[in-house]
Amino acid sequence: MGLRVLVVDDDADVLELFAVALTACGAEVTTTDNARDAIALATRTRPHAIVSDIAMAGEDGYWLVREIKRLPAEIVGDVPVIAATAYGREHPRARVLAAGFAEHLQKPIDPEQLCRLVASVSGR
């Protein structure tokens, strides 16, 4: 796959599951458990895609996608962000996409679907 992917989730088990799935697909994965650290990691690692939980303690996924989109495109402003949520009713697809996410994933995720979606949004 040859992709750099940043995964953001405040659940350690989900971080591990996503990292294992994406690594198995050939991605280089960086993880963090909060949105604030994700901004710093994104500017440093320049990922091809970000997969972020929506409902996190502190700043949530909506905050993260807004902050990422504010960064200059040459840094990471144009990186696609995929929303991952276990709360489909609270975060319907239309609302998620309108907020600036490139795609919407419902947890629990299918590892193959995750890999296909990351490859698709990053143009790989």
Q: Which of 8-12, 68-72, 86-90 has the lowest mean pLDDT?
A: 86-90
Residue 40 maps to a domain? yes
Q: Which of 10-24, 67-81, 98-112 has the lowest mean pLDDT?
A: 67-81
Q: For residue 42, what are the domain limits?
A: 34-89
Over 60: is that where the pLDDT of 58 sits? yes
Can you tell me whether residue 46 is helix, strand or coil? Answer: coil
Residue 60 maps to a domain? yes
Residue 51 maps to a domain? yes
Q: 32 - beta bridge partners? A: 8
Can you tell me whether residue 68 is helix, strand or coil? Answer: helix
CATH code, domain with 70: 3.40.50.2300
If one counts every other C-beta atom within 10 angstroms of the C-beta of residue 120, the result is: 14
Counting residues of the chain whose pLDDT is more than 70, the rounded percentage is 98
Residues 6+ apart with CB under 8 A from 54: 60, 61, 62, 83, 84, 85, 87, 91, 96
Over 70: is that where the pLDDT of 1 sits? no
Residue 66 maps to a domain? yes
